[in-house]
Amino acid sequence: MKPLKKLLTTAMETVLSNEDINYDTLVSILLVENEEIRSINFEHRKINNITDVISFPMLDMENGRFITQPEEYDMDQGMLFLGDIVISVPKAIEQAQMYEHSVNREIAFLAIHGLLHLLGYDHETPEDEETMVKKQENILSLMELPR
């Protein structure tokens, strides 16, 4: 398995295991350039800025729990489709340099952050942000990618 694919697969599996998601799951991860994520951000959020990661959840979840139980139409090839994660690679590289850690750590962080959004976590309040930060740091530690 190629190193980036392995990194992303490990990140997704670690989050899902930690969150006790007991379904075979499918997550789409799209790695893009800055202009493409700016376009996606504007099209879907009406924000004309480059961002690092955007998530598009397919299920109704809140804090890792299903609001509505998945049904047959939520499945794709026998797996539960959680949604899409779009990551800007140039932005990840820029942020890795800014935070003085590896690009692998930053891409894993963005993928983890995106998956937590697919699972219904958010960071709109200080309490919710603290929950997400703790979960992200825990997953990165389990992956041996701490700060």
* pLDDT, tens digit, 9 for 90 and up, residues 99-145: 999 999 999 999 999 999 999 999 999 999 999 999 999 999 999 99
In a domain, 47, yes or no: no
In a domain, 38, yes or no: no
Q: Which residue has the higher pLDDT, 74 or 91?
A: 91
In a domain, 90, yes or no: no
**How far is the C-alpha of 138 from the C-alpha of 146, rounded, in Å?**
8
Number of domains in the chain: 1
Q: Which two tokens stand for residue 129?
A: 């942000």
Q: Please give the mean pLDDT across all residues of the chain.
A: 95
In a domain, 12, yes or no: yes
Q: Which residue has the higher pLDDT, 19 or 1?
A: 19
Most distant CA pair in the chain: distance in Å?
Answer: 44
* pLDDT, tens digit, 9 for 90 and up, residues 24-41: 999 999 999 999 999 999
In single-letter form, the type of residue at position 104 comes to: N
Residue 71 pLDDT > 90: no
3-state DSSP assignment of residue 141 = helix
Whether this prediction's pTM lies above 0.85 is answered by yes
Q: In which domain, by residue range, is 101 found? A: 3-27+52-84+96-142
